[in-house]
Amino acid sequence: MKKRLVAISLVLVLVFAFSSCKSDSGTDTVTINIWHTWNIEGEENRQVTEDFIQEYMDAHPEVKIETHVLQDADYKTKMLTEFSGTAASIDVFSYWGAGRAGDLVNNGKLLCVEDYLSADKVGLIKQGADNNFRYGGKLYGLPQASWMMVLYCNTELFDEYGVTLPTTYDEWLAACVQFAAAGVVPVALGGGVDDGWQAAFVYEALVNRIVGASATSVVLDSMAGFSANPGFAESAARMIEMNAAGAFGKSPLEIDEETANVQFLTGAAAMRLTGTWFTNNIYTDDESIIQGKVTALPLPMVPGGNGKVTDYVGGFIDGIFVNSATKNPEIAADFAYGWALALATNQHETGDGFTAYNGPIDESNLYPTGRETSVLANTLVDGVVAWDTFLPGDLADIHIDACQALLSDRADVGRFLAEYAAIFD
């Protein structure tokens, strides 16, 4: 807690050094409604948000911040519903850049925050970190920190059952078979209705190693060429193969993200495939018994695939945005900048992300797994963000549904490819 408060204080120094906003409406008290998805008590991003809100209101007594929280799937629906109108109950909100925010920009729903921030503030954003937040060259969102997908492994279980830490797909599949035979969930996966993005993560990990980051980016950017590359079909076939081998437990579509987290944190599962934002849970979650027993591995390579060891899934995609209809754009933009900076700073200093901003960063207190992921991040070059955050909302839903189907009894590569014809071809 002490480290977090120090980090927040440093953020406030940077924010307030360039801030001189006043009430845009001329009233004595201004209410700013903020929205986010961190619905679990004690979750790091939620705590950082609550700390920053309090510090911001202390420094701006004329501002009252009202917080609204929804689970991820409900949140996406809420945002789409609200922004079909003026979204009057939303001033500042966490969201995803690239295609998802692009839909809102195209419909005039997002504030161009660059118009309300000083050049000094905008100048602190690292080169390239705002690529997924600029539209027509203008900055509409504020990036937080980058992330990367890794394979967290419980080394105690690997040692106990004599299983080799996987560096290739074949080793990964073999490890899953061994753990399943021993009654241990190989890879904790909560791919249920509200968390289908986790099913998509498995597919995207395989695509990263079979198709490669560069070729995948070409397809996503051009929205064409999916069926022409056999690697996308091969990735689907291998995902079906893994599920048939019991890699994701008996019912990955019937549990949620939190349940999958608990499986790994309590030693019931040997592996967890997810983003580096999970690192803190290993050390701070009350149910965790695996501190000091986890290593974070890069995605297993696929021999003969086009993926490189320097390819990864991840990047800058999570951000903070402002409703173009807010009654207080200066205050909203100022708060949004500080909020994004606070989250980015904390994510970097705790090892579950890599800040989008230049400025003071204290890396001395990184958790061991955080230091490990930080070293790994320095070896990576070409990243592809999660597809459901890059694709526009309706196409992202098709992607998630198709990946969930690969974990069901109706899994079929041909049917899977037919679904994607609606997106890419």
Look at residues 280, 333, 413, 311 and name the one whose alpha carbon lies nearest to residue 142.
333
Query: Where do the DSSP E strands lie in 239-361?
Result: 269-275, 294-297, 311-315, 318-322, 354-355
24 with 134, same domain: the answer is: yes
Q: Report residue 301 CA to chain centroid gap.
A: 22
Q: Kindly state the DSSP code that residue 220 receives in the 8-state scheme.
A: H
Amino acid letter for position 184: V
Amino acid letter for position 335: F
- At residue 5, does pLDDT exceed 70? no
For residue 367, being part of any structural domain is answered with no
131 with 71, same domain: the answer is: yes
Mean pLDDT of all residues in 243-271: 96
Mean pLDDT of all residues in 200-223: 95
Amino acid letter for position 425: D
For residue 370, being part of any structural domain is answered with no
Q: Is the dihedral of CA 329, 332, 334, 337 positive or negative?
A: negative
Give per-residue pLDDT as tens, 12-47: 545 554 444 554 545 579 999 999 999 888 788 999
Angle between helices 44-59 and 329-349 (to 10 degrees): 140
Phi, psi of 197 (to 5 degrees): -60, -25
Cα atoms found within 13 Å of the Cα of residue 269, Cβ hemisphere only = 25
Provide the domain limits for residue 406.
147-314+377-424
107 with 161, same domain: the answer is: no
215 with 300, same domain: the answer is: yes
In sequence order, what are the beta bridge partners of 354?
146
Residues whose CB is less than 8 angstroms from the CB of residue 52 and which lie 6 or more positions away in sequence, other chains included: 8, 11, 338, 339, 342
* pLDDT of amino acid 298: 97
Domain boundary, last residue among 303, 333, 359:
359
155 with 294, same domain: the answer is: yes
Q: Tell me the percentage of the chain whose pLDDT exceeds 90.
A: 75
238 with 253, same domain: the answer is: yes
Sheet holding 141-143, edge to edge: 63-69, 30-36, 92-96, 318-322, 141-143
Residues whose CB is less than 8 angstroms from the CB of residue 58 and which lie 6 or more positions away in sequence, other chains included: none
Contact 43, 277 (CB under 8 A): no
Instruction: Please report the DSSP string for 16-38 in residue order.
Output: HHT-----SS--S-EEEEEEE--
176 with 255, same domain: the answer is: yes
Q: Comparing 315 with 159, which gets the higher pLDDT?
A: 159
Owner of token pair 């904390």: 346
For 143, the token pair is 């990036």
Contact 83, 108 (CB under 8 A): no
* pLDDT of amino acid 11: 54
194 with 269, same domain: the answer is: yes
Q: Which residues of 156-191 are buried (b: 16+ CB within 10 A; e: fewer)?
A: ebbeeeebebbeebeebbebbbbbbeeebbbbbbbb
138 with 212, same domain: the answer is: no
* pLDDT of amino acid 15: 54
Q: Kindly state the DSSP code that residue 125 receives in the 8-state scheme.
A: B
- At residue 8, does pLDDT exceed 60? no
Q: Comparing 73 with 149, which gets the higher pLDDT?
A: 149
Alpha helices in 107-228, H assignment, sequence order: 119-123, 155-160, 169-181, 197-210, 213-222
For residue 372, being part of any structural domain is answered with no
Model's pTM, two decimal places?
Answer: 0.75
21 with 137, same domain: the answer is: yes
For residue 403, being part of any structural domain is answered with yes
Query: Where do the DSSP E strands lie in 261-381?
Result: 269-275, 294-297, 311-315, 318-322, 354-355
**Residue 185 to residues 192, 235, 310, Cα–Cα distance (Å):** 16, 22, 29
Phi, psi of 412 (to 5 degrees): -160, 125
Contact 209, 312 (CB under 8 A): no
User: Which CATH number goes with the domain that contains 129?
Assistant: 3.40.190.10
193 with 221, same domain: the answer is: yes
Give per-residue pLDDT as tens, 296-340: 999 999 999 999 999 999 999 999 999 999 999 999 999 999 999
* pLDDT of amino acid 1: 39
Give per-residue pLDDT as tens, 82-106: 999 999 999 999 999 988 899 899 9
71 with 151, same domain: the answer is: no
For 20, the token pair is 């001189």
